[in-house]
Amino acid sequence: MTDKKITDLISNMTLQEKAALCTGATPWRTVAIERLGLKPIIVSDGPHGLRRSQDIESLITESFPATCFPVAAALSASWDTDLLYEMGQALAEESLALAVDILLGPGLNIKRSPLCGRNFEYFSEDPVLAGEMAAALVKGVQSKGVGTSIKHFAVNNQETRRFTVDAIVDERTLHEIYLRGFEIVVRKGQPWTVMCAYNSVNGHFCAENKYLLTDILRDQWGYEGFVMSDWGAVHDRVASLQAGLELEMPGPSPHRTQAVIEAVESGELDEAVLNQAVERLLKIIFRAQATPKGHQSIDIEGHHALARRIASECIVLLKNDQHILPLTGNETLAVIGEGAANPVYQGGGSSHIHATKVDSALEFLKTRAEVQYVVGDSSTAVNPVATAEAVAIAKEADVALLFIALPASIESEGYDRTGLDLTPQQIALIKAVAHANPRTVVILNNGSAIDMREWIDDVDAVIEAWLPGQAGAGAVVDILYGDVNPSGKLGETFPLRLSDTPAYLNFPGENNQVRYGEGIFVGYRAYEALGRDVLFPFGFGLSYTQFEYNNLRVSASNFTVKDTLEVTLDITNLGPVAGKEVVQLYVRDCQARLRRPAKELKAFAKVHLASGETKSITLKLDEQAFSYYDPAYSRWVAEPGEFELLIGSSSTDIRLTQGVRLTQGTPLPSIIHSESTLGDWMEDPVASKVVQPLLASIFGLNEGNTLGVDATTFFKDLPLTVLLGFQGGQLGASPQQIVADLLKKLHSVETRQPA
């Protein structure tokens, strides 16, 4: 529908109709206006499958069967944007079949702490990885005429008091860590909707936060869709409309509609604001309705096969001593753990999918080997009888396979974890089985990092299978037998212990407030800055083959912010089997005005190589790759100077390095003012030239000082006016007048380059 037709439609709507459209009609659909021929659209929970309610009039009801794909924690470990696009298309096909117009997802909040109960729904501790993966998924879904709703905007990094907690975060950290992923998705994917979070940010609920919803999302990033609330997130409907939230969910809420009507009638709310909200809603509603829905069918078997292929790309081989894997097919197996027969393949809460079918690893293994099976871990408390049963079969087998899954009582939406440990019985079981059979493999099903210190040295191999979706069991067996060469890499750091985590002292806060005291130092940024060892670093993952990195070259060793830097390298598969490697490009700023991490992920690529094959890979870096957010200017800044490009197989396994120089950075105005210190003047490249003659005269007047220090260093934190005041009347004018004259001279230059 054209903009004019939408404008005409709005002009024909009553105030009651416009106000009603901005609140859901039911928990899962928007308002219909029959007299104007306006039909509703249907939204559905996601994000790794479709939780389409059979009764859209009810909030909690049975959902239709749909394919349960791997969760975001697993998907990020694939580092494969093409794969995410393909999965998005499959999700769209199922949405079309089940008459869903907008899929609520993906979630891309940062994994600030491994304790967040909803981490399984989120991609990564790194905003670039999270943003690129989410953008690919969004583009895949929307390519078929189904919308998405990226969530939860913003700074929603815990479940504890998630409806009310106030996240106190500084401006730089907000932009560099917690908003950056959302910015990538908005700029690259233009999701149809953005879902605001429950919590407050710096004292303002996200649903009523104009700085987030309008100033940043629309004015800075150019967002074109509409903003909806998470279910029950709105506290003041009028304030949320004024802030930029178009749709409140769920409905019906006649008192909310009435509040908007009364606010317009009283003059509290400008009707133009309401009209704008309605216009944004109508544009998406008509876009959704342009694609017919409800007449297609789901390719159950095809999507199940896709789910298995995706899961196999996400599995991370964490340990493989003695090259115990892949299995040869001649081993007898002791299979232990309830997850082998009844897999834990998804998380609890709003993303829980009614799967079309669910594979069992135990059944697949029985077709490949002679198998003995016991549960072993049905209780959380230590159970000597169950452990003894597991030990008995482990002693008789060539290899013991332990399927260890975190129970929903520990990890789920709605509450945070209290620690990183497995259950006491699982720990006792692993240790006992490994003692009985040194050829023990642990297969993990979990949504975030766990503490493995008590048992990891006792086992030969560890497979991180995450919550891999309904076909994940088959993918695990594919990895065990080498039908698929593992290529997953961690999208989050696995720390040694909880107390090592950057947010440890501030998570989950107190008195309904959580302080992000670690700032930008989240995940690998923090562990490197603090020099802390980790269990497994960000980006880590083993393969059944080996890769060699060579011949790094860049398109230019000197470049400006207007240039796109191309970074090319050769990678060779040295091993006997085909495999995939994730090439990771990090950037180090060798010197900056503000403190920066030792390295930051800026680009990556996943490449398939046959045995002995070599390929050239090119990664591109733009201005953003060399920038940081500077609150002094309220913008991203790329400073001229030396940078180091670091290319590796993980954040700690750097294979190639190359220095480059940014010769021309971001043009910036001067921020020197009347209270700036001597150091501020001296560090500013333009201001230093302006003030230098004055400083020469000052320190010339004081050549005989007896302080025994370097004067410029000693006085660098002193405001220039105060320093001038120490000179008495020797300079011929008041300090304030001298500084005012200097500022006038300085500001005659409109822009500058930072040092």
Amino acid in position 132? E
Specify the pLDDT at position 467: 98
Note if 230 is an active site residue. yes
**Residue 630 token pair:** 């500077």
Cα 507 to its chain centre, rounded Å, is: 18
- DSSP assignments along 380-408, one per residue: SS--HHHHHHHHHHHHHSSEEEEEEE--T
Give the pLDDT confidence of 644-684 residue by residue, as tens digits.
Answer: 999 999 999 999 999 999 999 998 888 999 999 999 998 88
DSSP conformational letter for 54? S
Check if the beta carbon of residue 594 is closer than 8 Å to that of residue 629: no
Long-range interactions of 213-217: CB distance < 8 A, separation 24+:
213/153, 213/243, 213/244, 213/245, 214/243, 214/244, 216/179, 217/153, 217/182, 217/186, 217/244
Span 104-122, average pLDDT: 97
147 DSSP β-pair partners: 102
* Cβ count near 291 (within 10 Å): 14
pLDDT for res 669: 85
> Is the pLDDT at 13 greater than 70, yes or no?
yes
Task: Out of 311-325, 420-434, 531-545, 726-740, pick the least confident.
Answer: 726-740
Mean pLDDT for 364-376 is: 98
Residue type, 76: S
Q: Averaged over 591-596, what is the pLDDT? A: 94
CA dist., res. 694 & res. 743, Å (int) = 13
Tokens of 169: 């975060």
- Give residue for tokens 């197989």: 649
Q: Which amino acid, residue 82?
A: D
Could you identify the residue written with the tokens 């985590």? 501
Is the sign of the CA dihedral 42, 47, 49, 51 positive or negative?
negative
Percent of the chain exceeding pLDDT 70 equals 98
The number of C-alpha atoms within 13 Å of 390 and in the hemisphere containing its C-beta is: 29
Q: Domains along the chain?
A: 41-249 (3.20.20.300), 300-536 (3.40.50.1700), 547-664 (2.60.40.10), 678-746 (no CATH)
Cα atoms in the 13 Å half-sphere on the side-chain side of 186: 23
pLDDT at 703: 52
pLDDT higher than threshold 70 for residue 358 = yes
pLDDT by residue (tens digit) across 160-172?
Answer: 999 999 999 999 9
| Number of neighbouring beta carbons within 10 Å of residue 101 | 24
Region label for 660, one of left (φ > 0), alpha (ψ between -120 and 50) or beta (otherwise): beta
Q: Which tokens go with 723? A: 């320093």
Mean pLDDT of the chain: 95
Please list the helix, strand and coil fractions of the chain in percent, rounded to the nearest 5, in that order. 35, 20, 45
Q: Inform me whether the pLDDT recorded for 753 exceeds 50.
A: no
Q: pLDDT tens-digit profile of 681-697?
A: 988 888 888 988 888 88
Q: Rg (Cα) of the chain, in Å, rounded?
A: 29
User: Is 712's pLDDT higher than 80?
Assistant: no
Residue 697 to residue 711: CA distance in whole angstroms: 13
User: What does the alpha-carbon distance between residue 20 and residue 31 come to, in Å, rounded to a whole number?
Assistant: 7
pLDDT the model gives residue 374: 98
Q: Of 120, 114, 206, 190, which Cα lies nearest the Cα of 156?
A: 206
- Rounded to an integer, the average pLDDT of 28-47 is 96
192-222 per-position pLDDT tens digit: 999 999 999 999 999 999 999 999 999 999 9
Handedness of CA 730, 733, 736, 737 (dihedral sign): negative
Q: What is the DSSP string of 334-351?
A: EEESHHHHS---S-SSTT
pLDDT tens profile 305-350: 999 999 999 999 999 999 999 999 999 999 999 999 999 999 999 9
Query: At 709, is the pLDDT very low, low, confident or very high (cuts 50, 70, 90)?
Result: low
What's the confidence (pLDDT) of residue 172? 98
**pLDDT given for residue 707 in this prediction:** 53
Confidence of residue 749 (pLDDT cuts 50, 70, 90): low
Whole-number Å distance between alpha carbons of 277 and 283: 10
Q: Which of 731, 536, 634 minimizes the C-alpha distance to 219? A: 634
- What are the φ and ψ backbone dihedral angles of 13, each rounded to 5 degrees? -85, 145
678 vs 720: CA distance, rounded Å: 5
**45, 166, 230, 451: which is the annotated catalytic residue?**
230
Give 53's DSSP letter. B
- pLDDT level of residue 501 (50, 70, 90 thresholds): very high
Q: Which residues of 140-165 are buried (b: 16+ CB within 10 A; e: fewer)?
A: bbbeebbbbbbbbbbbbbbbebbeeb
As beta bridge partners, residue 605 has: 583
Cα separation, 577 vs 643, whole angstroms: 36
Token look-up 């189904």 returns: 146
CA–CA–CA angle 252, 10, 142 (5° rounding): 70
| DSSP H or E segment with residue 75 | helix 72-78
Instruction: Taking residues 81-87, report their average pLDDT.
Output: 98
708 pLDDT band, cuts 50/70/90, is low
- Position 176 scores a pLDDT of 98
* pLDDT higher than 90, residue 272: yes
Residue 218's CB is within 10 A of a number of other CB atoms, namely 17
Give the per-residue pLDDT at 699: 73
